[in-house]
């Protein structure tokens, strides 16, 4: 039998995604659909720097205590290259974290299950590495922002 790998991750950048007011779409007896506009933001890190362009959004469906996320937006590298981002994941919080969030307190990554997976597309030769690996994110809310530390699965 060949050697089995232990997962390893490389930190590549942090997204600080600015968001607008949520738009409620509808509720049924089992789920609640909302859309949160993406209004801008920044990308900083050892492998990539740029900005989040306004115009994307995050469609999210809550089912019980778990929220399924489906965000789509564009980022622009510091040299002007466009990168299409599809970011899907899950959010859930224990009751104590929910109470802290409602009270306006800071809640960190360890207090929430706020995990995402990315697919990037770009024609930029310098950024093709984004299209050739799997990326995951650890997210946390901050006032007016969603912050996501992005890691490449190596």
Nearest CA-CA partner of 107 in 92, 125, 122, 121: 92
Any domain includes 3: no
**HSE of 22, CA atoms in CB hemisphere, 13 A:** 12
* pLDDT tens-place string over residues 61-112: 999 889 999 999 999 999 999 999 999 999 998 888 888 888 888 888 888 9
Any domain includes 2: no
Tell me how many domains the chain contains.
Answer: 1
Q: pLDDT at position 57, please?
A: 98
> pTM score, two decimals?
0.92
Any domain includes 1: no
Q: Can you give the residue range of the structural domain that contains 38?
A: 9-153
Residue 63 belongs to domain with CATH number:
2.40.160.20
């Amino acid at each position: 039998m060949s050697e089995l790998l232990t997962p390893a991750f490389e930190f590549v950048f942090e997204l600080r995604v600015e968001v607008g007011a949520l738009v409620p779409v509808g509720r049924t007896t089992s789920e609640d659909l909302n859309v949160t506009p993406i209004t801008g933001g920044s990308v900083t890190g050892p492998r990539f720097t740029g900005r989040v362009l306004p115009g994307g959004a995050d469609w999210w469906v809550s089912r019980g205590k778990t929220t399924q996320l489906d965000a789509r937006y564009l980022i622009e590298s510091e040299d002007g290259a466009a990168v299409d981002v599809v970011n899907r994941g899950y959010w859930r919080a224990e009751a104590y974290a929910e109470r802290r969030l409602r009270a306006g307190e800071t809640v960190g990554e360890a207090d929430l299950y706020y995990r995402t997976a990315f697919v990037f597309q770009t024609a930029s030769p310098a950024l093709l590495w984004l299209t050739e690996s799997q990326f995951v994110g650890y997210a946390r809310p901050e006032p007016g922002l969603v912050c996501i530390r992005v890691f490449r699965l190596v």
